[in-house]
Structure 1
Amino acid sequence: MAKYLLRRIVGMFVVIILVLTIAFVLVRLAPGDPAALMLGPDATPQEAADLRTRLGLDQPIILQYVKFVGNALKGDLGESLFFNRPVISILADRAEPTIFLALMSLFFALFIATPIGIYAAYKRGSLLDQSSVTSAMLAASIPSFLTGLVFQRVLATNLGWFPTAGYGGPDADLWVRLEHLILPSITLGITNSALILRFTRASMLDILGEDYVRTARAKGMPETRVVLRHALKNAGIPIITVVGLTFALLVSGAVVTERVFNLPGMGNLVVNAVLRRDYPVIQGTLIVVASIYVLINLATDLLYFFIDKRVKY
């Protein structure tokens, strides 16, 4: 276990260095002067020269890279050109809506997909099984922005069940903000439930055909216990894997939904940073999202041991 963790930590460090290198190179690959691109076409040569000095772009490229990687490893991701604040503090302010949105969306996706996937596998070939697979493919095919717009019109505007958009006022408490996240969470939950449902069904189908499941049934064990305790537990590893990947995708891929519902999250921040040519914010978001991916993958792998004691690291 210790050797496995050491190897994973070393691998995580290598991945982070590669991400830092990519983030560093992307800005330098942009055609023209990076400082002039950040300031826009109306900038004077003196303003571009001052920004190059401020960002260290007038130094040798190797020195720039070493300073960039060293500062990033210490938590210094630079300063936003638009907000004139450290990038790390801006990302910290925008992380709450994104993290809560990802967690609530994952909850709705599991609430929809897990019971349907288990029952569809148990009733293989039935009408419910066929309709659930068809519904899953349909949910995966519809863009999340279209689902969000329909829900906004019907559930928020016409029926008034949920807030239409936003994240509450500056003084809003946690419950008010969570209420604003229900509708976008349902939107993302429905879209991402398709993959979880299909994996749950496929994993359960494999396990329900095993000999020990037939033996448990032959011994007279209640069917609920056979399905939930024996079959579901042993089918857990593929399900945990896809749940971890789904959560990582929700954290990094909720850009469209945040724009539709006007949520002040990291996705909305990146879109605005691209429009404003705020490259330090783009670089910082890339680094943070990649780090989240790495940590989620590690946590998912460690969960295997707790789900199935037969797993050896």
Structure 2
Amino acid sequence: MKMLIYLGRRLNLLLITLLILCIASYILAFLFPGDPLTNLSGNPSPSDDQAQQLRLMYALDEGALAGFWQYLKLTLVGEWGLSLSSQNPIFDDICQFLPASIELSLYAMFVSLLVGIPLGIIAGLNHRRISDMGILSVSLVGFSLPVFWLALLLILIFALQWGGLPMSGRVSLLYDIPHQTGFILLDIIMSNVANKQQVLLDALNHLILPTLSLSIVTSSLVIRLTRRSVINVMASDYIKAAFAKGLSRPQVFWRHGMKNALLPIMPQLAMQFTVLLTNAMIVEVIFSWPGIGEWLIQAIYQRDFPAIRGGMLAVSALVVIVTISVDLLIRMIYPLSKKQIHAQV
């Protein structure tokens, strides 16, 4: 029963937040320079008949509430208007570019967990020893590095000086990969392109630098979270009781400490995906990665106000949906009490 109440509250929060985002997106059409009709529809110079049809379509002459209600219905069915620069449907452009941002964030999250959790465990088990101080110092340096500066530094070292890795794009221009899912590795596997292994290797080479730029900072945070949780668990009474029974240190940790150390910090680790997604938008610009961030920056340069409005709505809605979904998933797997104690950095 408590779980159903919690689920209802989170769904209400999700709907209310998405409604507020839609209201903000609708208001932006009137705050941006130019005609609100153009900012909503993406038609820069409609004829008189087209303008009248569009005003009826968006209910601009029927008041703010009626106009927003009509805008909300159009948004739900995918009618987000046209891009001023390309005249492509904005919703189609978002569906094309957003998977690239999600793909990059997922790979960076995987690398962050793969590196951060083991190093955090080692540091926590060797509290106040040389290995702990060394790992903590490295994580502090990584956590302090700005993402954009780190990306430029990696390009300077590995792309320009050493010349071993590409500095832009998702795959070499020599290969034409048909767009199917938007995830480049899946699209290559599903395609009939010749020399598929070579193309996959080329795509993986293009992934290395952007993924490292994102994962270094996040790995540092994962290390600090895991280390603090391991230290707290290993100092608890039931761990001391396990040592008193004669169990060795590895037996105590793997039987009693591992699960109890990771479960409390799972929500914080999962929430890092939204941070990665927003950081990925910065990295995309530097590496010319064709994701939603690169697309939004180009829209800003070209003063494409309908695309800016739609892109901001899409990214904000995705972050909210992912955050609440992860919260619900963690709650179902690990039903914490209201007096839970979270790991601290």
Q: Measured at CA, do residues 305 and 7 of structure 1 come closer, stay the same or move farther in structure 2, by a change above 3 Å?
A: closer
State the aligned residue count: 308
- 1:247-287 CA distances to partner (integer Å, 9 max, x unpaired)? 11212331221111110001101111112222222222222
Partner of 2:18: 16
* Correspondence list, 1:85-124, <5 A: 85-124=88-127
Partner of 2:130: 127
- 1:207 to partner: Cα distance: 1.3
Contact residue 116 and residue 197 of structure 1 kept, 8 A: yes
User: Alignment identity in percent?
Assistant: 28
- 1:51 to partner: Cα distance: 6.5
* Correspondence list, 1:99-178, <5 A: 99-168=102-171, 169=173, 171-172=176-177, 173=188, 175=200, 176-178=202-204
**Pairwise CA RMSD:** 2.9
Whichever residue aligns with residue 271 of structure 2, its letter is L
Partner of 1:258: 284
Contact residue 21 and residue 313 of structure 2 kept, 8 A: yes
- 1:63 to partner: Cα distance: 2.5
TM-score by length of 2: 0.79
- 1:125 to partner: Cα distance: 1.0
Whichever residue aligns with residue 224 of structure 1, its letter is P
- 1:22 to partner: Cα distance: 1.2
Corresponding position: 1:78 with 2:81? yes
Q: Measured at CA, do residues 179 and 18 of structure 1 come closer, stay the same or move farther in structure 2, by a change above 3 Å?
A: same
1:270 to 286, 296, 321: 296
Partner of 2:206: 180
Q: Measured at CA, do residues 185 and 30 of structure 1 come closer, stay the same or move farther in structure 2, by a change above 3 Å?
A: same
- 1:245 to partner: Cα distance: 1.9
CA distance in 2, matches of 1:51, 1:167: 40
Partner of 2:271: 245
Contact residue 199 and residue 238 of structure 1 kept, 8 A: no
- 1:15 to partner: Cα distance: 1.0
Stretch deviating more after TM superposition (241-250 or 162-171)? 162-171
Contact residue 125 and residue 231 of structure 2 kept, 8 A: yes
Partner of 2:316: 290
TM-score by length of 1: 0.86
CA distance in 2, matches of 1:27, 1:37: 5
Q: Secondary structure at the match of 2:83?
A: coil
CA distance in 2, matches of 1:159, 1:264: 24
Contact residue 216 and residue 226 of structure 1 kept, 8 A: yes
Corresponding position: 1:29 with 2:31? yes
CA distance in 2, matches of 1:82, 1:38: 14
- 1:106-140 CA distances to partner (integer Å, 9 max, x unpaired)? 11211221111111111111122223222222212
Contact residue 91 and residue 285 of structure 1 kept, 8 A: yes
Contact residue 39 and residue 305 of structure 2 kept, 8 A: no
1:201 to 212, 227, 231: 227
CA distance in 1, matches of 2:298, 2:170: 17
Structure 2 unaligned segments of length 5 or more: list them. Answer: 178-187, 190-199, 339-345
Stretch deviating more after TM superposition (29-38 or 245-254)? 29-38
Structure 1 unaligned segments of length 5 or more: list them. Answer: none
Corresponding position: 1:192 with 2:218? yes
Q: Measured at CA, do residues 244 and 211 of structure 1 come closer, stay the same or move farther in structure 2, by a change above 3 Å?
A: same
CA distance in 1, matches of 2:86, 2:78: 18
CA distance in 1, matches of 2:332, 2:243: 26
- 1:229 to partner: Cα distance: 4.1
Contact residue 104 and residue 182 of structure 1 kept, 8 A: no
Q: Measured at CA, do residues 273 and 166 of structure 1 come closer, stay the same or move farther in structure 2, by a change above 3 Å?
A: same
Whichever residue aligns with residue 117 of structure 2, its letter is T
Partner of 2:343: none
CA distance in 2, matches of 1:292, 1:228: 36
CA distance in 1, matches of 2:335, 2:32: 50
Partner of 1:218: 244
CA distance in 2, matches of 1:219, 1:122: 19
CA distance in 2, matches of 1:269, 1:23: 18
